[in-house]
């Protein structure tokens, strides 16, 4: 009788062990479940708000890619495709060198990847960045405003060329937070260093700083200040009147258009039509 009781207790103990997975296995299942969830509207907006306009220091040279297919590739574990990077740089050359400050100027969400545009991208387009609009109850919610398409203020001239970095996932983009996206990009971009815009913005007159904060252009600004305030223009028009050459930067579409008029490098007039 005692022998049977001991056997039953032993079998019961084995059953309990089998039913209780190890903590590591439990954690792995949670990660797998998270990976199966597609990117939520909330996290999509968070990624845009956290990374749009952001400056970073390059931890790798970025190629002068002619198209998005030549983007620097990082996988779902944050691992860089070094073979492709070396090959693309060998074929195209480097648009940005190691240790330079760059700006994220566009983010595009695809089914199985997130494409990050650096310094305007390797191939100029009229309107690469599209605003993200998420439908919700009672209307729609707009994403972050289109980021600046110009170079980071105060950056060296050789950073004016752009490139792309793409985060590739198996199947579809999982439900990642903005912080997680930054962590995945850590093999290529360092976001921890001070932004290049800080010393530049502090060096300009207070009236221009306030205008930039309010996304306004004003007379007396230079091109970098206007780019910081309003981003790249939708159109440019050059004219010569009375032997004076002017360049107009146009923002918006009729009837809501802003004209920023330059003579040389300086804004001489701002006209707004509302």
Say whether pLDDT at 39 is over 80: yes
Residue 181 CA to its chain's centroid (Å): 10
Say whether pLDDT at 25 is over 80: no
Say whether pLDDT at 53 is over 60: yes
| Average pLDDT along the chain | 76
Question: Cα–Cα distance between 217 and 226 in angstroms, integer?
Answer: 6
Q: Which helix (H) or strand (E) holds 26?
A: helix 23-36
Question: Cα–Cα distance between 26 and 75 in angstroms, integer?
Answer: 24
Q: Tell me the mean pLDDT in the region 227-239.
A: 85
Which of 83-97, 138-152, 235-249, 252-266 has the least mean pLDDT?
138-152
Decide if 226 contacts 249 (C-beta within 8 A). yes
pLDDT at position 223 is: 85
Q: Tell me the mean pLDDT in the region 154-175.
A: 75
Q: Tell me the mean pLDDT in the region 248-262.
A: 92
Question: Cα–Cα distance between 11 and 52 in angstroms, integer?
Answer: 59
Q: How far is CA 36 from CA 32, 73, 248, 264, in A?
A: 6, 21, 49, 54
Q: Tell me the mean pLDDT in the region 246-250.
A: 94
Predicted confidence band at 218 (pLDDT cuts at 50, 70, 90)?
A: very high
Predicted confidence band at 21 (pLDDT cuts at 50, 70, 90)?
A: very low
Q: Tell me the mean pLDDT in the region 15-39.
A: 45
> Please, what is the end-to-end C-alpha distance for the chain in angstroms?
95
Say whether pLDDT at 16 is over 70: no
Say whether pLDDT at 246 is over 90: yes
Q: Residue 248 corresponds to which tokens in the numbers above?
A: 């107009």
pLDDT at position 62 is: 93
In the CATH hierarchy, which top-level class contains the domain 204-273?
A: alpha beta
The pTM (predicted TM-score) of the whole model is 0.51
Delimit the domains of the chain by residue range. Answer: 41-198, 204-273
pLDDT at position 183 is: 95
pLDDT at position 195 is: 52
Predicted confidence band at 144 (pLDDT cuts at 50, 70, 90)?
A: very low
Q: Is 40 helix (H, G, I), strand (E, B) or coil?
A: coil
Predicted confidence band at 249 (pLDDT cuts at 50, 70, 90)?
A: very high
Decide if 43 contacts 172 (C-beta within 8 A). no
pLDDT at position 3 is: 55
pLDDT at position 154 is: 43
Predicted confidence band at 134 (pLDDT cuts at 50, 70, 90)?
A: very low
């Amino acid at each position: 009788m005692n022998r049977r009781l001991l056997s039953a207790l032993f079998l019961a103990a084995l059953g309990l062990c089998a039913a209780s997975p190890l903590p590591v296995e439990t954690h792995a299942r949670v990660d797998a479940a998270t990976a199966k969830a597609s990117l939520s509207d909330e996290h999509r907006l968070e990624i845009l708000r956290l990374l749009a306009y952001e400056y970073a220091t390059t931890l790798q040279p970025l190629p002068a890619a002619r198209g998005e297919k030549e983007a620097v590739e990082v996988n779902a574990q944050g691992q860089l495709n070094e073979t492709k990077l070396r090959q693309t740089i060998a074929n195209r050359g480097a648009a940005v060198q190691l240790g330079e400050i760059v700006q994220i100027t566009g983010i595009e969400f695809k089914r199985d990847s997130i494409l990050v545009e650096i310094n305007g991208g390797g191939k100029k387009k009229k309107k690469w960045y599209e605003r993200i609009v998420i439908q919700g109850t009672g209307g729609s919610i707009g994403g972050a405003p289109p980021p600046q398409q110009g170079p980071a203020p105060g950056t060296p001239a050789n950073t004016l060329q752009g490139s792309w970095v793409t985060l590739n996932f198996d199947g579809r983009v999982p439900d990642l937070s903005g912080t997680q996206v930054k962590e995945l990009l850590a093999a290529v971009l360092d976001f921890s260093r001070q932004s290049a815009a800080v010393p530049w913005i502090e060096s300009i007159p207070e009236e221009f700083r306030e205008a930039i904060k309010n996304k306004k252009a004003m007379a007396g600004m230079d091109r970098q200040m206007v780019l910081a305030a309003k981003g790249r223009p939708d159109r440019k028009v050059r004219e010569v009147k009375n032997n004076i050459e002017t360049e107009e930067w146009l923002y918006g579409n009729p009837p809501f258009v802003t004209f920023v008029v330059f003579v040389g490098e300086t804004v001489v007039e701002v006209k707004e039509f509302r």
